[in-house]
Structure 1
Amino acid sequence: MQLDLELEILCGQLIVGGFGGAEPPARYLRALAEGRRGGAILFRRNVPDVASTARLCQALAAAGDPERPPFIGIDQEGGRVTRLPEPFLTLPPMRSLGELRDLALLRRAARAVASELRAVGINLNFAPVLDVDSNPANPIIGDRAFGRDPRTAAEGAVAFLEGLQEERVLACGKHFPGHGDTALDSHLALPTIAHGRGRLDEIELPPFRAASRAGVASLMTAHIVVEALDPGVPATLSRAICTGLLRDEIGFEGVLFSDDLEMAAIAAHYPVEEAAAAAISAGCDALLICKDEEAQDRAHEALVRKAEREPRFRERCVEAAARCLRLRRACPPRPVSSPAALAEVVGGPASREVLAEIERARAALAAGAAT
C-alpha cells in the first residue's frame, strides 16, 4: 500500500490510546480527527452500560477521517478479563472452555461475543490469549489461557479467533512470544524467561505459529525478556523477536500491537518517547498507551522527530501505518443506531443460547468426571 500522508498523520496512525470516562474527551476526538491517533482502547471506566458504550463508539467512529477509520478495541476475553457489563455476554474463563474440547462451541461463543461488539461499534477484540498455562505460579495468565499444553492452547485460541473474525471483529492474539511461564506480572515488573530455544519451539511458540497460519488479524507483544532470543531486551523492543522471529521466521503478516507502554515492565525502565521509537523500530505497528493523553502526545512527537531525522525509520513508519490502515479499512466500526436493534443483539437470544450450551457442556463434563 502506497501512503501519501503528512508526517504527523503518518506517525499518528501508530498510536492507539485510552482516556478516562464514558464521554470521549474533546482533546481525544480532535486528535483522531487530525490524524494524531489511529484509534482507541476502551476499559471498564469507559463502558458503564450499553447505551453509553454505543454513543462513545459512535463519537469515536465519526471523529475519524473516512479514509482512516479508527481501531476501537477492548479486552473482552471472558472470565476475569471482561470489560463490558451486563447484559453483554460474559464467557467463563477460557481454560474452562478449552477443557470442553468442543471447538465448534468455542467458535460459536466467539461469534456471539463479536456480534455484540460489532453492534456497539467495537471492531477489535484484544483476544484470544495464545499463551500456554504452563506455570501454576503465573499471576497474570493462568485461566485466561485455553490450556496447559500447546496443542490445547492453540486449538482453542484458533477456534476463538476464527469465530471473532467470521463476524467481522478483528482478533488480537497475545502475548508474543509467550507470557505463560513467568512468575511476575508485567503490569508491575519486567519478567524474564530463561528457557532455551528448544523449549520455546516446543511449548511457547506453537500457538502463535498456529494463529498466524489461521490468518489472525493482529498480535500483541509481551513485556518480557526472553534470554534465548534477545538477552536483556524486552520482547516489545526487540527487533530479533518482533521482526526476526515473528515476521521472518513465523511469517506473520498482520498488525503487531505493543502491550501498554505505561505498564511498569516498560515504563519503569524507559521514558515513553524512547519506548515508542524503539518498539516501532523493533517491528511493532501500533502502540498502546492506555491512559495518559500527555504520554500519547509525547510518544507521537518522538516518532515524528525520529522520522524527520532518519529515512529508514520513516520507511518503517510507512510500513506500520499501511498494515494498520489495511485492517481498519477492511473492518471499520459501524455502530448500530437503533436502540431496539441493539437490544436484540446485546444479551439477545444468540448470546443466551451460547451460554446455555456452555452450561450444558460443562455439566456433562462434570457428570462424566464423577462417574
Structure 2
Amino acid sequence: MKLFFPVIFATVLLSGCADETAKPDEPAPKQAEETKQPKPQKPEQPSAREQAENELKQTVSQMSTAEKVDQLLYIGVTGTALTEADRRLLQQHALGGVLLLGGNITSSGQLKALTADINEAQTSDQRAFVGFDEEGGRVSRVPDARLKLSPSLTYGQKNDPELMEDVGQTLGSISRFYGFNMDFAPVLDVNSNPANPIIGDRALSADPQQVARLGVPLMQGMKEEDIVPVVKHFPGHGDTTVDSHVGLPRVDATKAELEQTELVPFKRAIQDGAEMVMVAHILFPALDKNRPSSLSKEVMTGVLRSELKFDGVIITDDLVMGAITERYGLAQAAGLALENGADMAMFSTPGAYASVHKEIMTRIKQGKLSAADLNEKVMRVLRLKQTYDLSQTKRVDEYQRLIEQVKAVESDMRH
C-alpha cells in the first residue's frame, strides 16, 4: 500500500491537469527562456605561438624539395676568407649552417671579417646558423689569448651553478663579438674514464649529477646572450678510449649503466629547455650493434626522441672524422644520418655540398626519407632559427668590456 497510494495520487493529479486544457482563444504559455538559442560564439583567435607555427608551415609548404634539403646541411668553407665558390653557394642556397674550424681562423680582425662576409653573402630570409667550437681550455677557436677561458673541469671543481651561468654568458658574449650565433657547447659528457684521450678536462665532472647541475646553467647563460647552445656529445663520450677523430670508439656499458651515468646530464638539459643536441660517432652495442650513434635510428629516434622526449634539432658531429670515413663515404653517411633521425648533417669538407645534396635528393626519390619526415626536420630547423636573432644586429663590439668579463669569471673561479 505504501507504494500503491503515491501512484494513484499521481495519476489523479495528472488526470486533473489533462482536463485543464487552454481555451482556443488563449495563447499558449510562453517558454522564451527555454527556447532561447545561445548566441553564436566568435571563433577564438589563434595565439601568437599558433600563428607563428601556421606561418612556418606555410613557409615550408612553399619550399622546393631541394630548398628543404639545403636547410638540413651544415657545411664548412675554404680557408680564412670566402672563395668565390663558397660565396656563390651562400648566395644561391639558403643553407642550414656554416661551420668554422681552426683552419679558418688566424686573428681577431680576420675572423670578424670572415663572419661578416658570410652574413652579407646570404640573400635568403632564412639565415644560416654560423657556429664554432668554443668551450674554453683545449677546445677553443678564439684567436685572442685574453678572451680564452679555463677548461670546463676547472670551473666544475668550484661547483657553483651561478658561476656557470656567468661563464655561459661570457661564452655567449665572446661568440657574438666574433660574429657567431651558435656555439657547439656545453660539453655534457661525464669524465668517467681516466684513459679517455679526447674528453678529460673538457667535461665538468666525473659525477653525472654534477655535470647536470652545472651544465644546465652554462647552457642557459649562453641563451641569455642570444647564442644557440648545442649540448654534446650524445649519448656520452666520457667513457671512450679512442678519439673519434681517428677511429670509431666503442662503449660496452649496458643500457641501465648508460641511464645512470652518460644519459643523466642530457636528460636534465632536455627537461630544462635544450634546443639542439649533437650526436657523437660512437658505437654503443647495448643500443645499436651495427651503427655509430650519429647514424643510428635506435639512438636518435629511439632513445633521444622517444625515450627522452627531445623535440628540438638533432645534429651530427662532423661527418669527416675517421670514425665515419673509415667505414662510410661522406654523402652516404649524411644520407644515413638524416634517414635515421638527425635533422642536420654537419661536414667541414669544403666543396662537398653538391655530392651530399645529390645523395639526399636521391634517397628522397627512393622513398628512404619520406616527405612528411623531411618537412618535420625543416620545421624543427626553421623553428629554432626563429627563436634566435641570427643576424649581426646584436654583435658585441666592446672589446675592453669583454676582457674584463673574462677576467671576472676567471677570478671568481679561483676564489
**TM-score, normalized by the shorter chain, greater than 0.5:** yes
Gaps of at least 5 residues in structure 1 are 365-371
Which of 302, 309, 314 pairs up with 2:359?
302
Question: Could you tell which deviates more after superposition, 49-58 or 186-195?
Answer: 49-58
Tell whether 2:63 aligns with 1:5.
yes
**8 Å contact kept, 1:118–1:333:** no
Match of 2:195 in 1: 137
Q: How far did 1:140 drift? A: 0.6
Give the Cα–Cα distance (whole angstroms) in 2 for the partners of residues 150 and 87 of structure 1.
Answer: 31
* Distance in 2, Cα, partners of 1:254 & 1:65: 26
CA contact (8 A) 2:94 2:126 kept: no
Name the amino acid aligned to 1:197: K
Number of the residue aligned with 1:160? 218
Distance 1:337 1:209, change over 3 A: closer
Q: Which residue of 1 aligns with 2:120?
A: 62
5+ residue gaps, structure 2: 1-55
SS, match of residue 261 in structure 2: helix
Alignment-derived partner of residue 324 in structure 1 = 381
Partner of 2:255: 197
Match of 2:185 among 127, 132, 143: 127
1:266 corresponding residue in structure 2 = 324
Q: Return the offset for 1:87.
A: 5.5
Aligned to 2:338: 280
Is the CA contact 2:71–2:94 (under 8 Å) kept in the aligned structure 1? yes
| CA-to-aligned-CA distance 1:98-149 (integer Å, 9 cap, x gap) | 1001111111121122112123320110001111000000001110000001
2:404 to 347, 352, 370: 352
- Is 2:82 the counterpart of 1:24? yes
Contact 2:255 2:286 in 1 (8 A): yes
The aligned counterpart of 2:207 is 149
Distance in 2 of aligned mates of 1:274 and 1:72: 24
One-letter amino acid matched to 2:312: G
Is 1:46 equivalent to 2:98 in the alignment? no
Q: Distance between the aligned counterparts of 1:56 and 1:181, measured in 2?
A: 37
Aligned length: 357
CA contact (8 A) 1:12 1:38 kept: yes
Using the alignment, how far apart are the partners of 1:355 and 1:78 within structure 2? 13
Contact 1:14 1:38 in 2 (8 A): yes
Q: Which of the residues 147, 154, 159 maps onto 1:101?
A: 159
Q: Is the 8 A contact 1:132 1:149 kept in 2?
A: yes
Alignment of 1:73-84 (within 5 A): 73-84=131-142
After superposition, give the CA deviation of every residue in 1:327-369 in whole Å (9 maximum; x if it has no partner): 223324333699xx62x1x3x325424423433542x4xxxxx
Q: 1:175 aligns with which of 233, 241, 256?
A: 233
Residues 302 and 314 (structure 1 numbering): CA distance in 2 closer, same or farther, change over 3 Å?
farther
Rg: which structure is higher? 2
Q: Give the AA of the match of 2:177.
A: A
Q: What RMSD over aligned residues (CA atoms) do the two structures have, in Å?
A: 1.9
1:153 Cα deviation (Å)? 1.1
CA gap 1:351/1:155 in 2 versus in 1, 3 angstroms: farther
Which of these residues, 259, 284, 291, is aligned with residue 226 of structure 1? 284
Give the TM-score, by structure 2 length. 0.82
Match of 1:40, SS?
strand
Deviations 1:135-181 (A, max 9, x none): 00000111000000101111221111100011100000111111110
**Larger deviation, residues 230-239 vs 38-47:** 38-47
Instruction: Provide the identity percentage.
Output: 34
Match for residue 29 of structure 2? Answer: none
TM-score (norm 1): 0.91
In 2, Cα distance between equivalents of 1:150 and 1:219: 17
**Conservation of the 8 A alpha-carbon contact between 2:94 and 2:127:** no
Paired AA for residue 381 in structure 2: C
Local SS of the residue matching 1:78: coil
For 2:173 and 2:307, locate their aligned partners in 1 and report how far apart those are by CA, in whole Å.
Answer: 34
1:222-265 deviation per Cα after TM superposition (whole angstroms, max 9, x unaligned)? 10111111112110111111011101110112111101111010
In the other structure, the counterpart of 1:118 is 176
Over residues 188-239 of structure 1, what are the superposed CA-to-partner deviations in whole Å (9 max), with x where a residue is unaligned? Answer: 1111111111100100101100111121221101101111111121101111
Which whole-Å CA distance do the structure 2 matches of 1:51 and 1:328 have between them? Answer: 27
Q: 2:178, 2:96 → 1: CA distance?
A: 19
Q: Secondary structure at the match of 2:98?
A: strand
Residue type of the partner of 1:216? A
For the 8 Å contact 2:339–2:368, the answer to whether it is kept is no
* Helix, strand or coil at the partner of 1:67: coil
Larger relative contact order (C-alpha < 8 A, sep ≥ 6)? 1
For the pair 1:14 / 2:66, whether they are aligned, the reply is no
**Do the aligned residues in 1 keep the contact of 2:244 with 2:323 (CA within 8 Å)?**
yes
